[in-house]
Amino acid sequence: MARTVLDRSDAVRELAVVFRRRGFEGATLSVIREETGIGRGSLYHFFPDGKSDMARAVLDEVRAWFDEQVFGPLRTGADPADAVSASLRVVEDYFASRERVCLFAVMTLGAEQETSAREVRRYFADWVDALALALSRGGVGEPEAAEAALDAVAAVQGALTLARALDDDTVLTGVVARTGRRLRAALDRPA
């Protein structure tokens, strides 16, 4: 029997788990109902446009978390080196606690990738830009900061894939630690 969900945010959290495990294509409505226990009526009440609406809501929630916990502090932190280090810690903790899956990366797979393409591009561009800004504020030249930020985000994303494939959290931990050391070294170089 389907359970009643009283709050849209509860449904979004449940949906995030399904999308992490199944991706957009694999998260059929029947799979969503089965794995969340949320009835069809509740799903369409909260998400009138169906699965695309569900995916947008999940990405919006993840995006809001990254804006608050990662992008904002990178852009405005009083000490850029501390902001970079803190951002890497929270990113590592976030992904380790969510089955080593980046929902934005998952949404780029499969035939339905265009459903979220704009949000996915904006998320990754904002992550790179916020990190590059912190590095620049810390004295790293703009071209080097942009390259280092792109490499750092790519390293974290690659580490997620490898950690999941190898079922080994130390892959993510190690790559994040090495990435942090490289970024701190760039920040420590005299201008």
Average pLDDT over every residue of 27-49: 91
| pLDDT at position 46 | 93
Mean pLDDT of 75-104: 88
- Does 22 fall in a domain? no
Q: Which amino acid is at 144?
A: E
Enumerate the β-bridge partners of residue 3: 38
Cβ neighbour number for residue 107 with a 10 Å cutoff: 24
CA 139 to chain centre: 27
The phi, psi pair for 3, rounded to 5°, reads -95, 155
- Looking at residue 132, its pLDDT comes to 98
Supply 107's token pair. Answer: 């949404």
The pLDDT assigned to 190 comes to 65
Average the pLDDT over 66-84 and give the result.
96
Domain membership of residue 12 (yes or no) is no
Task: Give a yes or no: residue 110 inside a domain.
Answer: yes
- For residue 32, CA distances in Å to 26, 51, 147, 151, 186 come to 9, 9, 39, 35, 45
pLDDT, position 117: 77
85, part of any domain: yes
Domain count, the chain: 1
Tell me the pLDDT band of 115, cut-offs 50, 70 and 90: low
pLDDT tens digits, one per residue of 127-136: 999 999 999 9
SS3 189: coil
| Reported confidence tier of residue 25, pLDDT bands at 50, 70, 90 | confident
Residue 21 is predicted with a pLDDT of 87
Q: What is the pLDDT of residue 22?
A: 86
Mean pLDDT rounded to a whole number for the chain: 88
In a domain, 138, yes or no: yes
pLDDT tier for residue 145 given thresholds of 50, 70 and 90: very high
Do the Cβ atoms of 98 and 20 come closer than 8 Å? yes
Query: Which tens digits make up the pLDDT trace of 166-176?
Result: 989 999 999 99
Q: What range defines the domain where residue 127 resides?
A: 59-188
The CA distance from 169 to 17, in Å, is 19
Question: Does 19 reside within a domain?
Answer: no
CA–CA distance, 123 with 59 (Å, rounded to integer): 9
Six-digit token string for 143: 């071209």
pLDDT at 20: 86
pLDDT, residue 175, reads 97
**Is 6 part of a structural domain of the chain?**
no
- Residue 54 resides in a domain: no
Which one, of 45, 41, 40, 10, lies nearest residue 28 by Cα? 40
- CATH code for the domain of 107: 1.10.357.10
Rounded average pLDDT over 24-32: 89
